[in-house]
Structure formats: C-alpha cells, structure tokens
Amino acid sequence: MILTVTLNPSIDKLYLVDALTDDTVMRVRECRNTPGGKGLNVSRAAARLGEPVTAMGFLGGFNGQYLESLLEGSGVTSAFTHTDSETRSCINVWDASRSRSTEFLEPGAPVSPHDWERFLKDFTDRLPSADAVTISGSAPQGVPADAYPRLIALCREREIPVLLDASGERLVSGIRALPTLVKPNTDEISAVTGRNAGSFPDILQALKELHGAGVACPVVSMGAEGAVLLCSDGSFRGTPPVIEPRNTVGCGDVMLAGFAVGYARRLPVEDRFRTALAASAASALSPYTGDFDPEDFERMLSLVRIDPMSA
C-alpha cells in the first residue's frame, strides 16, 4: 500500500477555454472538478497504475465532504483527519489556443495544534501498513515548521521508503531529514545546494551533494527534457518521447506516483525511473490534471529512454 500525505488538499477546478482573453467575459467550454493538491494527484495516479493507495491530510467543511465524494470509485482510500476549517479550491484555466495554463491557488485554511496532533497519531497508526510514503506540496497555517522532518523520521525508523516533493523551506528542512527520494527542479536544487544547475555536469554535482549527505535517490526534473537521477546504482538520464502536450499541470506529481509505485513493487532503479517518466508523459497527453489513459502509459513506457551517465 502507498500512503500519501497531502496536508493542504483542494477542490481543483479545470476550466477549458478556447482562448484566454483579458478584460472580457470568458465562456468556459468545459469544467471538471477533481480532488486536488499535489499529494492527491499522486494518489490518483498511483491508483491508476494499479497500486492500493491510502490518502491522508486535512479535510474540513462542505468542500471537504465534496472532495471525499470525488475520491469514491478512484481506488484511493480516504483516511483524512477532519477539521472545522473549510477545504480550499484552486482553479486551472487551460488556454487551448496556446496550450498554456494559468493557475489560481487559494491558501489553505488554518489548522489548530490539536488538529496536527490528531493527524500525527493517525499517520503513525497507518504507517506500519505502508510499502512507500509520499509527502507532497505545501502545508496550511498552523502546521509546525518541522512537520515534514518528523514524518520523514517516522518513516526512516520503520525503514519505509519516503518520497518528498515540496518547495521552499519545506523542501530544505525535509531534505535535512534525509528522505529516500526528493524531486526538485533545476531552480529548486540550485537554491538548496547553492550550485548553478545550468548544465548536466552541474546537475550531477548537485545530485552528488545531496546523495553524499544521505538522500538515497535525488532526482532533478526538467519538464519535457526528462530528468536526471543519482543513486548507489549510478547516475541516469531519463528522456521521454517528444509529444504534443494537452495539459502539463500535475505531471510532476504523476512522476512521483510512478517512483512510489516502483518502490512499493521493489523494482530495479531503471524500471522505477522508466515507470515514473512514462506516467508523467502520459499525463501530459490528458486534458485532466493528475490523470492519464493506461494505453498512453503503456505506449510511453516503450518509448522512454534511460541512459547511464558518466560521473
């Protein structure tokens, strides 16, 4: 079972428009509501890949109830800690004329210290059943600064692979707790290590720094160019096929889901990497955030390249 942590979930609203124009009334061609937040994108993608998934975090109010109803039938088990605060909504406007998106992200409602302690107990109770854990995204006001390090430490104590995808100080403090895998982009790894990640040699040096500090498998994601991974088995560049994307929002979350599935199944590193990149590429072909067609995934799986890199 994959256990996903989304401390700041949302109702994600995708608005498909023919062309986004300033200073006018826009007619939305199609609207789709999905259970969102980076960790819930991971949850749905991992379930789509055939793994049992339990989703944790905070939910509250009518939006919280609606979000749980949207999870029904997705293959994701809801195990959220309920609060009195209303769960947020976020909007992604997809401009079909330019194949570009504009996102509007609401802040999460605050949680109390009591809410956090209840979540921590819920998480600790569920952890022994997990084959892999993912921790994704931001945290609402009220969650302590050391939240991610505490969760990572609980996983490490039980020798459960824990994968972190965060930004800013949450990423920095999380890395210090030494998760199994982190997935920063080039800007984020530059900020974390103080190294310019403008070339592949620079990226490899930054990855070596994280790996040397104790992160088992640091990965740098580069969007359509793929990703670079370093672990005890070596360093690898993964390259997806060239495609015409329909919606790139959530592709990084789907990549993390692919890695989590690989860890849960105890796959070799190259197969984990291939699964992650194929799922991410398939997600870019879907108009819906954090989702993909299983047939697209199988096709991408055969087209992804994984190449060893010289140190």
Q: Write out pLDDT tens, residues 38-59.
A: 999 999 999 999 999 999 999 9
Flag whether pLDDT at 198 surpasses 80: no
Residue 254 pLDDT: 96
Residue 27: domain span: 2-309
Q: Write out pLDDT tens, residues 116-127.
A: 999 999 999 999
Flag whether pLDDT at 69 surpasses 90: yes
% of the chain exceeding 90 in pLDDT: 77
Sign, Cα dihedral of 78, 127, 86, 35: negative
32 pLDDT band, cuts 50/70/90, is: confident
- Average pLDDT over every residue of 128-141: 96
Flag whether pLDDT at 247 surpasses 90: no
Residue 234 pLDDT: 94
- Average pLDDT over every residue of 80-93: 93
What is the number of domains present in the chain? 1
Residue 52 pLDDT: 97
Flag whether pLDDT at 146 surpasses 80: yes
CB-count exposure of residue 239 (10 Å: 0-12, 13-18, 19+): middle
Residue 310 pLDDT: 77
Flag whether pLDDT at 179 surpasses 80: yes
pTM: 0.92
Flag whether pLDDT at 75 surpasses 70: yes
CATH number at residue 172: 3.40.1190.20
Flag whether pLDDT at 311 surpasses 70: no
Average pLDDT, the chain: 93
